[in-house]
């Protein structure tokens, strides 16, 4: 019997990692440090929670089906923010609101790919992108990153075949954290355009980019919508992870195709989450700026404290947004090391093997640390535990 679509891929990595906690107890003086998932654990700010409650209590339409591509006011609001942030000229017709950014990726792939088509993914890759391509019958073509955890345009060019339909990038990157330089993104855009491909850029973490000004000029290119597909998430900026509000920005023609997919999967995005995202766009600019400054401070604490690990043979490969991507010094695969760190150090993180093709040697030496929920003191404690750990 042939495999089902779901059997074509692996188990959800974060859920697999959580199972390592089963049966493990953590002493009071060494509680669990969970740096496995890139999601804020705090709820939205009180004012936003109140706005959500008000919408639930006073708006009948907050409990009904809405437009498949999202509410018009939110589409217009996000378009306006994109135009300000990227010096762009998008309109609401370029914006679809989705049930999280993962759904935006899935919808984009549904408009692009047929059975046995190919999408180029830099490795280490975001595992949910790989999982969806597996379940869609699309081949993921790995593009190993080079110096600075950055992918090479020339290497990508060599991977293009007559079945290639897209190149999918994540910046700031998940899992490596690195911010892709604007000129590198433009070079990938040119490569995709010249070969008739789509360039998908997942910018879930763009609100925590350390750079000021537009992170790239892709929206400023003539006919950008013929090549560029932008993905975004409100989850990290406004702590709305449980409400699943993302976005897909592309040509109106592509969104008309995506609408078919979205209508059959969720019919429409959740109304309360959409009201929350719009209220956040209109009222939380300064608050998000403060959140960004805090994340940048934690990023600095990762850099400042890393010498404590470096003397033990650890290497910091990539850093940015919510992530530190590291190379460990042990003669053990990270697939075995990560569960051991739970038991011996009270640290839950993800092994690099979850971000690489099966049996790729690179992932065996790497770990991803999602540090966004650790303050400076927590980061110092993380380093103390890791530096004390030995085999």
User: What range defines the domain where residue 353 resides?
Assistant: 6-43+287-388
pLDDT at 128: 96
Distance CA 219, CA 88 (A): 5
* 355 neighbors 365 (Cβ within 8 angstroms): no
pLDDT at 184: 98
Q: Are residues 14 and 117 in the same domain?
A: no
Q: What tens digit of pLDDT does each residue of 203-216 get?
A: 999 999 999 889 99
Banded model confidence at residue 170, pLDDT cuts 50, 70, 90 = very high
Domain boundary among 284, 300, 324: 284
pLDDT at 2 over 70: no
Q: Are residues 242 and 379 in the same domain?
A: no
Q: Are residues 226 and 336 in the same domain?
A: no
pLDDT at 38: 80
pLDDT at 288 over 60: yes
- pLDDT above 90 covers a percentage of the chain that reads 94
Tally of residues, the chain: 391
Q: What tens digit of pLDDT does each residue of 312-329 get?
A: 999 999 999 999 999 999
What DSSP string describes 171-236? SS-TTT-PPPPHHHHHHHHHHHHHTT-EEEEE-TTGGG-SS-S-S--GGGSTTGGGTEEEEEESHH
Cis preceding linkage at 3, omega within 30: no
CATH of residue 24's domain is: 3.90.1150.10
pLDDT at 12: 92
Q: Are residues 297 and 269 in the same domain?
A: no
CATH of residue 226's domain is: 3.40.640.10
Q: What tens digit of pLDDT does each residue of 29-64 get?
A: 899 999 998 878 889 999 999 999 999 999 999 999
pTM across the whole model: 0.95
pLDDT at 135 over 70: yes
Q: Is 359 exposed, middle or buried (0-12, 13-18, 19+ CB in 10 A)?
A: exposed
Distance CA 18, CA 95 (A): 35
Banded model confidence at residue 1, pLDDT cuts 50, 70, 90 = low
* Residues sharing a CB contact under 8 Å with residue 332, sequence separation 6 or more, in sequence order: 340, 391
Distance CA 122, CA 142 (A): 6
């Amino acid at each position: 019997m042939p495999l089902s679509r779901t059997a074509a891929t692996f188990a959800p990595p974060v859920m697999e990692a959580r199972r390592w906690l089963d049966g493990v107890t953590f002493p009071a003086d060494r509680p669990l440090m969970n740096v496995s998932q890139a999601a804020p654990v705090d709820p939205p700010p009180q004012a936003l929670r109140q706005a959500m409650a008000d919408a639930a209590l006073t708006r009948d339409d907050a409990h009904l089906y809405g437009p498949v591509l999202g509410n018009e006011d939110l589409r217009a609001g996000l378009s306006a923010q994109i135009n300000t942030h990227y010096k762009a000229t998008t309109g609401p017709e370029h914006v679809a609101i989705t049930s999280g950014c993962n759904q935006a990726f899935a919808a984009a792939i549904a408009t692009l790919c047929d059975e046995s088509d190919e999408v180029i993914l830099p490795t280490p890759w975001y595992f949910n992108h790989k999982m969806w391509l597996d379940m869609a019958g699309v081949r993921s073509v790995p593009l190993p990153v080079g110096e600075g955890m950055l992918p090479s345009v020339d290497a990508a060019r060599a991977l293009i075949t007559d079945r290639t339909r897209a190149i999918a990038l994540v910046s700031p990157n998940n899992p490596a954290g690195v911010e892709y330089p604007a000129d590198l993104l433009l070079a990938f855009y040119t490569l995709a355009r010249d070969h008739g491909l789509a360039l998908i850029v997942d910018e879930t973490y763009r609100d925590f980019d350390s750079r000021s000004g537009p992170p790239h000029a892709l929206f400023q290119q003539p006919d950008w919508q013929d090549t560029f597909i932008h993905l975004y998430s409100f989850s990290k900026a406004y702590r709305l992870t449980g409400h699943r509000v993302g976005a897909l920005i592309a040509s109106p023609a592509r969104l008309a195709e995506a609408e078919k997919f979205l209508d059959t999967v969720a019919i429409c995005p959740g109304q309360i989450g959409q009201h929350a995202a719009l209220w956040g766009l209109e009222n939380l600019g300064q608050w998000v700026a403060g959140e960004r400054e805090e994340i940048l401070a934690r990023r600095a604490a990762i850099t400042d404290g890393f010498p404590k690990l470096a003397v033990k043979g650890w290497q910091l490969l990539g850093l940015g947004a919510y992530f530190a991507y590291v190379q460990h010094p042990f003669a053990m695969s990270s697939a075995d090391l990560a569960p051991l760190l739970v038991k011996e150090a009270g640290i839950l993180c993800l092994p690099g093997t979850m971000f690489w093709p099966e049996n790729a040697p690179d992932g065996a030496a790497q770990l991803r640390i999602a540090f966004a929920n650790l303050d400076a003191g927590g980061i110092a404690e993380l380093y103390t535990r890791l530096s004390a750990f030995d085999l």
